[in-house]
Amino acid sequence: MTSRLQNKTALITGGTSGIGLETARQFIAEGARVAVTGSSAAGIEAARAALGDKALVIQADAGNIDGQKVVADAEKNAFGHLDILFVNAGVAEFGPLEQWSEAAFDKSVAINVKGPFFLIQALLPILSKPASIVLNTSINAHIGMPNSSVYSLTKGALLTLAKTLSGELIGRGIRVNAVSPGPIATPLYGKLADSEADAKAMAAGIQAQIPVGRFGDPSEVAKTIVFLASDEAAYIVGSELVIDGGMSNL
């Protein structure tokens, strides 16, 4: 069977854990040459151990604008061109409206919106024709979850970007689409709670809202991304694929 991403080059931001790391594994299994970015030294080392010499691992701050040019240069030097970009790096911070500071607001917007925008800009000269860009958004852009105002608005901005950049870039052969995961079993949820007991209670409350009765697996999201990145999705432009076990339909 022919691998769907054979001879393609790919960049995954935030590719050192969770959905990003699993997508890197599946991209490699499908024949792609892969580069991933991560922000922490520990995450970088873990990704190198997990992916071995099958991936280029780049340390980068997703919210630093100058850093996006560094990532683009590293990609160009390693591969010469880019066929697939999965914008996955992001931060999820929650809190009631009255507790948000300007600094915290700016941090979320920088990492989740500003960085991705300028990374795409920096990569434009080396994006192939055709190429595929997939933005990782969230069902939080669609549901009114309390305490998620800033996170949700950043993901809503990415959804808008998927549509506007589709219209702008399709003439250059670049397809832009989005995936919007619901609750996925990644390290993210553990970081949102103060204790293990709080984390378990939070997980149980969320799971009760999912019609299929469980959290999603990172591999289920990664498989969708492989499809959108491949030539099988050549007629899918400016679309959003929701992967949430039916949660946003309630």
Q: Annotated active-site positions, please? A: 151
For the chain, the distance separating the N- and C-terminal CA atoms, rounded to the nearest angstrom, is 39
- 3-class DSSP assignment, residue 91: coil
CA angle 68, 69, 72 (to 5 degrees): 90
**Token duo for residue 13:** 């931001």
Inter-CA distances, 58 with 40, 45, 61, 243, 249, Å: 10, 10, 10, 28, 38
The secondary element (H helix, E strand) that includes residue 116 is helix 115-123
**CB contact at 8 A, 77 and 11:** no
In DSSP terms, 184 is beta-bridged to 216
- 3-class DSSP assignment, residue 12: strand
In DSSP terms, 87 is beta-bridged to 135
In DSSP terms, 127 is beta-bridged to 82
